[in-house]
């Protein structure tokens, strides 16, 4: 069974500070992809970053970086230099390679950036 856990229902961060959003996962598949999506109040899902299970280096995309610790099955998202526009829901997701591209989402973390 596949499971994604996000233990932080809500987070606050001061503008320009860094914040870490936690994500742990559970899968028996040896090959999988880990994703983070941002969902603003308008509803669309915005792809932020991807980490493959066999990638040796942590993924980075601009202000976003993924702290991938495979042995701990964690894939935390780090947002540096937070901006007011970063306020949104953030979802961690996993897609095992052998499940026909199916995604499994966590319950999400609501991030609020404080000016």
Partner 1 sequence: GAVVSQHPSWVICKSGTSVKIECRSLDFQATTMFWYRQFPKQSLMLMATSNEGSKATYEQGVEKDKFLINHASLTLSTLTVTSAHPEDSSFYICSAKAHGRQIGYGYTFGSGTRLTVV
What is the rounded distance in angstroms from the CA atom of residue 35 to the CA atom of residue 37?
7
Is 105 a binding residue for partner 1 by CB under 8 A? The answer is yes
Is 96 a binding residue for partner 1 by CB under 8 A? The answer is no
- Which residue of 23, 88, 91, 94 would you call a contact of partner 1, by CB under 8 A? 91
What is the rounded distance in angstroms from the CA atom of residue 55 to the CA atom of residue 68?
9
Smallest gap from Cβ 61 to partner 1, in A, equals 10
* 97 C-beta neighbours (distance < 10 Å), count: 14
Smallest gap from Cβ 16 to partner 1, in A, equals 27
Residue closer to partner 1, measured from CB, 50 or 87: 50
- What is the binding site for partner 1 (CB under 8 A)? 33, 35, 37, 42-47, 50, 52, 91, 95, 100-103, 105-108
């Amino acid at each position: 069974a596949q499971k994604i856990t996000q233990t932080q229902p809500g987070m606050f961060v001061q503008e320009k500070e860094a914040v870490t959003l936690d994500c742990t996962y559970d899968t028996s598949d040896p090959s999988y992809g880990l994703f983070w999506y941002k969902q603003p109040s308008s509803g669309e899902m915005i792809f932020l970053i991807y980490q493959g299970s066999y990638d040796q280096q942590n993924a980075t995309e601009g202000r976003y970086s993924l702290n991938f610790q495979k042995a701990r099955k964690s894939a935390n998202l780090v947002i540096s230099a937070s901006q007011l526009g970063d306020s949104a829901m953030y979802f961690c997701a996993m897609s095992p390679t052998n499940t026909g591209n199916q995604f499994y989402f966590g319950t999400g973390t609501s991030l609020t950036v404080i000016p």
